[in-house]
Amino acid sequence: MLIGIIGAGISGLTAGRILAKAGHEVVVFEKSRGYGGRICTRYSNKYEGVRFDHGAPYISGDDPLFLEFIQELTEKGVARKWTDTFHFHDGEKMYDKHPNMPPKSRYVCEDGMNAIGKYLSRWVDVRLNSRVIGFTYQGDRRTTKRAWMLNLENFDTFEVDAIVVAAPAVQAYGLIENSIDETMFKTIIKDIDSVLYSPKHALMLAYEDAPAPDFAGLVVSNNPVISWICNENSKRNTDGKVALTVHTQSDFSKKHVFDGTAPEIIELEIAQQLRKVLGDWAGRYDESQMRLWRYPQPGNYFDKDFVELGGDIKPIALTGDYMRGKTLEHAFVSGYKLGHHWANRFSK
């Protein structure tokens, strides 16, 4: 079978790897210029070796399937153990251990978290900068054509036998709305539309000469703007430079997304609060980049591993982090279980 996967995040790439190993031809379409979804890395424009994991700062989990994958990554040299504790700031004082967070192993990639996406992509054909805007069921005459046609933003089309939609629920809903025949999706479209996301900003900062923080990650409480600060130079050699990734509170980002606040004003507000948390030096950075995450993590989710429709004639499935949870671990498990399910189902 020729299987088209929409979305090169950890869920889509995991499903794709399993299906490719089972003998299927897998093509992954990714609208962005890099794969990995939230396991992404941005590079400094000024300092060589400085990188920012501005999506998911680390991986960790409890599910045996995901722990086995983490072990694979460490054995292959893709990831390594980072820390098992985070510092905590209560709005007034810094503590070297979060009082309500038990120790747990967290893992990072020295080359950047996008190394995980690069590793998984080796088994499949990934088409970057390729936005799928809808799909069309072409009929069950498999002898003359494939079941599905993917419609791309650049007006190209691509025919496949089966589709995996491995995109956030909001984007999956948009794809379904743009499909020619929505009949088969009526049973789930309301459920997909009910999955809610809250936006977040990630501000990436680099310092030429600054005191290196002694924390790996800092959880920030009782702050109207900042929720998390990651010390990027605790992950890799940055040649003496300090690199921080600052994540905002959802309410802060939501307010500014809807009122159209200019990015430079948003950055200024984040920097002002950063001074209060870390000290005045934190506001004197030499480089900044910012990313708005519109769909960083679902607020609610489906109580199933994946959604499958279309039967054997026109198979299509939805997978992602809104299946049984809201983390990268859940996204991986969703893609893993769908991949094995289809590998067994379409073994002939």
pLDDT 10s digits, 2-54: 999 999 999 999 999 999 999 999 999 999 998 889 999 999 999 999 999 99
Contact status, residue 128 vs residue 117, Cβ threshold 8 Å:
no
User: Which residues sit opposite 89 in a β-bridge?
Assistant: 94, 220
**Confidence (pLDDT) at 178:** 82
Q: How does residue 143 score in pLDDT terms, banded at 50, 70 and 90?
A: low
Average pLDDT estimate for 316-344: 95
Average pLDDT estimate for 316-320: 96
Please indicate whether residue 343 or residue 140 has the higher confidence score (pLDDT): 343
Average pLDDT estimate for 184-190: 83
Average pLDDT estimate for 81-90: 97
CATH class, 2-37+118-194+300-345 region: alpha beta
Q: How does residue 110 score in pLDDT terms, banded at 50, 70 and 90?
A: very high
**Confidence (pLDDT) at 144:** 57
Domains 2-37+118-194+300-345 and 58-111+198-293 belong to one CATH topology: no
pLDDT at 62 over 60: yes
Q: How far apart are CA 270 and CA 342, in angstroms?
A: 45
* Mean pLDDT over the full length of the chain: 93
**Confidence (pLDDT) at 312:** 84
Q: How does residue 141 score in pLDDT terms, banded at 50, 70 and 90?
A: low
Hey, where are the domains in the chain? Answer: 2-37+118-194+300-345, 58-111+198-293
Classify strands 200-207 and 162-165 as parallel, antiparallel or unpaired. Answer: unpaired
Q: How far apart are CA 277 and CA 291, in angstroms?
A: 21
**Confidence (pLDDT) at 181:** 63
Q: Residue 181, Cβ neighbours under 10 Å: how many? A: 10
pLDDT at 82 over 70: yes
Average pLDDT estimate for 190-200: 92
**Confidence (pLDDT) at 148:** 93
Q: How far apart are CA 342 and CA 309, in angstroms?
A: 12
Q: How far apart are CA 139 and CA 33, in angstroms?
A: 33
pLDDT at 221 over 70: yes
Check: pTM over 0.85? Answer yes or no: yes
Average pLDDT estimate for 64-70: 98
Q: For the chain, where are the alpha helices, taking DSSP H only?
A: 10-21, 64-75, 114-120, 169-177, 189-193, 250-259, 263-278, 328-345
Q: How far apart are CA 8 and CA 30, in angstroms?
A: 5
**Confidence (pLDDT) at 293:** 95
**Confidence (pLDDT) at 260:** 87
Query: Regarding the domain delimited by 58-111+198-293, which CATH topology (the fold level of the hierarchy) does it fall under?
Result: Polyamine Oxidase; Chain A, domain 2 (3.90.660)
